Structure 1
Amino acid sequence: MSYAAVAKDPCRIESDSEDEKRGQIPTPIITRRTIPKTVTSLSCPKTPDWDAASNRPQATRTQSPIQTLTSSNKNERGELASRISSSSSSSSSTRLNNAHEPIVPALTTPEPSSTLSATANTSNFDPIALLQNNLMKFINTVIPQDYSSFVQCTLRRDKDGLQGGLFPTFYLHAERPVDGKKCFLLAARKVAKVKRQSEYLITTDVATLSEKSAGEDYVGKLRGNNVTGTEYTLYDHGLSPNKVPNGKISNTREGLRRELLAIVYNTNILGFKGPRQMNIMIPKLGHDIQPAKNEPTILEQWRDRRFSYLTQLRNKAPSYNEDTKNYVLKFTGNRVAQPSVKNFQIVLENDNHEEEVVMQFGRVNEDIFTCDFRYPLTAIQAFGIALSSFDSRLARE
């Protein structure tokens, strides 16, 4: 997709249109709001609820190096850079008129690197060494907070085969920064469900993806909770509480599955509210959430504003550039190359109400995507968030 074409016809999404048509499942129009309800008997959470569409000013801080678009025509690239060097937030009417645009990586000169903290990365954590030594441990390990660099990963989508268009396979590889060498982490396969709710089986062995429940190397699943594709839960490989006989759950809850995260996309019929907006809830470090029957799930705790054991993340709202008529995000490093409606960044709000990017996901080409993450995420959590972005539904686009 040429960037000149984006500026000329901003409402046309060449890089995604055919992809969405093949994979999209028509859904009924749902008008029920998906924001959490207010429970006055409970204290307010330490982490506030965020409005992803909010244009409130953010605290000034040093920006990370940002994605530079590539172009075969250097003159065209320089001209485009000068055109979008200044970005401004769009008004609500402008967002409605340009709801179906892809999110474009901002084009500018990279700046000195910034980190989650003001100090340099002094951690002894070595993600490549850990995954090569113990893959299972690595995919469930929260990246240490003092490891300020991103764990750089590449996600590849495979749509080959008779049913590849509707039920593709996904592969996640970690990249070694020094030489770009890739190490396999996880694979996932989308499966058909009777109730039309999406489900992705996740495994550490590609060979077992054709087996029921992904075989012995099955490590978890991402399951859609409704037919509209706005709510998802990521589980580990444990047993469903519905399969555990009453009274058989011990105090340690051995064998009961853990909920690793929940994702809620704001209802956005046909994209009239602008780019996708999502909230992500993960268990706080040191807390396992293993609900038995009739016990609150992550989603239920979030709706009831019970944040004692939850950390809330959300996607960073892209800014709207009036010159190019595109939504723009600043990506760290030369990691995202093409505009796409799937491009996003996940942010964590710190105690100073500053946004810190903890995950970035963006298109490299038709079926290759960047999937970088850091504290407070694990590899399987980042993979689950990325998988949910491929499950295109009319209710959230």
Structure 2
Amino acid sequence: MPLKTFVREIGNISKKSSAREHKLRRGRAHIAPEASSSSTPVGSSTALIEQGQWANLPPELLLDIIQRVEAREKCWPGRRDVVACASVCRSWREITKEIVKTPEQCGFLTFPISLKQPGPRDTPIQCFIRRERATSTYRLYMGLSPALSGDLSKLLLAAKKVRRATSTDFVISLVGDDFSRSSNNYVGKLRSNFLGTKFNIFDSQPPPGSNVQSSCQSRRKTHLKQVLPSVPMSNYNTANISYELNVLRTRGPRRMQCIMHSIPISAIEEGGIAPTPMAFTNCLDEDSSPLIDSEGKKPQVGFNSTGYGRSPKSVQTAPLVLKNKAPRWHEQLQCWCLNFKGRVTVASVKNFQLVAAVEPSQNVTVTEQEKVILQFGKIGKDIFTMDYHYPLSAFQAFAICLSSFDTKPVCE
């Protein structure tokens, strides 16, 4: 059987199994959920899938098949065949997860957890954002631009702008039609202050290696059945964004600074490694559940003394600080200019490039200091490009770019 026909047949099996799971669970998932012998009754559809003909393939043959599929499909929509292999059964899923590498290693986005893993070190992952003014939603797609990608663009993340009395929230989801915090599609949010000058990035799960995550895992089995599905997920303050005030209305672009509390400065030093989550963790225990703060709102567990909540003891190193790259004034064009290497074509106050703010005492090479970690710019009406590098993830980069869309009357 040709490999292409084999993969197509696997995809059809994956679609059928996903449809059965949808009827049983009434939820959507990118990968078929884990099935355990204790929780799955004999004779159910999941049990039949686990005992199907594809689950009995020899491990050596199965490994060779999945390796060929993964090596052949380098971009979307072809990467959906890799996801289809992981959706056949548990044995296929385990082998696929071992073969598929992180975006830092391979430069590809495959599973949903890839959106929270650091990007590649050498070449950026190029995306674009489509803004829908009528619904106040923002969609992040994989691709160079809508003109080049067209209908084949892969939706990565979506955000909805929610205005409140004293702040503005951008709720970020894996899908474009479900922005509920009690949903499994919820991945985090961005919150601004009243003036739109300061923002906090909240993640739905704690960063890897923090003591909040370990306490969550130890109590999840005890309290999971006691928590109603409508209870919102916990939020963890992983970054702060601040825009410099421009009260005198001086001419020039916005000035911003990002403090990434979940990424240590050692990540960009020689031999440094950025925190890389390998799976989603839903923390619903009593210790990490939000209580009530002084303003009568639910606080978010933070990673800095000035933010919401408390700081874990495991985070001792200095956080990574990003600053916007200073543009140069072009006398002939009479505007501020940055080299976006053809990725930005329309002048806008929203355009920016972020580089690392490094102290002389820190062991960071000149190349790393000058490397653009994140760039964002306008290419058309309601169309913006977003290119990000290591150590930022797609979720973090998208949240930073969303801060540029909020109204800032005192910064322009």
Range class of TM-score, shorter chain: 0.5 to 0.7
Q: 1:275 aligned to 2:249? A: no
Deviations 1:97-120 (A, max 9, x none): xxxxxxxxxxxxxxxxxxxxxxxx
Q: Distance in 2 between matches of 1:229 and 1:155?
A: 20
* Residue number in structure 1 paired with 2:155: 184
Structure 1 residues 176 and 230: CA distance shift in structure 2, 3 A: closer
User: Which amino acid in structure 2 is aligned with residue 232 of structure 1?
Assistant: F
User: Which amino acid in structure 1 is aligned with residue 201 of structure 2?
Assistant: L
* Secondary structure of the corresponding residue to residue 382 of structure 1: helix
Conserved 8 A contact 1:203-1:214: no
Q: Which has the higher helix share?
A: 2
Bigger drift between 200-209 and 264-273 goes to 264-273
Conserved 8 A contact 1:230-1:267: yes
Q: Distance in 2 between matches of 1:375 and 1:275?
A: 25
* Residue number in structure 1 paired with 2:201: 234
Cα RMSD (Å) of the superposition? 3.3
* Residue number in structure 2 paired with 1:359: 374
* Residue number in structure 2 paired with 1:315: 324
Structure 1: runs of 5+ lacking an equivalent: 1-122, 240-248
| Aligned residue runs from structure 1 range 1-397, under 5 A | 124-127=105-108, 130-131=109-110, 134=111, 136-145=112-121, 148-160=122-134, 164=135, 168-175=136-143, 180=149, 181-195=152-166, 197-209=167-179, 212-213=180-181, 215-224=183-192, 226-238=193-205, 252-254=215-217, 256-269=234-247, 271-272=249-250, 274-282=252-260, 283-284=262-263, 285-286=274-275, 297-298=303-304, 300=306, 308-332=317-341, 334-349=342-357, 351-353=364-366, 354-397=369-412
Q: Distance in 1 between matches of 2:303 and 2:251?
A: 28
> Shift of residue 365 of structure 1?
0.6
* Secondary structure of the corresponding residue to residue 173 of structure 1: strand
User: Which amino acid in structure 2 is aligned with residue 374 of structure 1?
Assistant: H
User: Which amino acid in structure 2 is aligned with residue 236 of structure 1?
Assistant: D
* Secondary structure of the corresponding residue to residue 155 of structure 2: strand
User: Which amino acid in structure 1 is aligned with residue 347 of structure 2?
Assistant: P
User: Which amino acid in structure 2 is aligned with residue 188 of structure 1?
Assistant: A
Deviations 1:159-213 (A, max 9, x none): 13xxx4xxx1100001179x74421100000012132x1100110111214xx43
* Residue number in structure 1 paired with 2:84: none
Query: Aligned pair count?
Result: 244
Deviations 1:344-385 (A, max 9, x none): 111125624542111111111110000110111000111001
In terms of Rg, which structure is larger?
Answer: 2
Structure 1 residues 217 and 292: CA distance shift in structure 2, 3 A: closer
> Shift of residue 386 of structure 1?
0.7
> Shift of residue 307 of structure 1?
7.6
Deviations 1:127-177 (A, max 9, x none): 1xx32xx1x2111111143xx1110001000013xxx4xxx1100001179
Conserved 8 A contact 2:198-2:243: yes
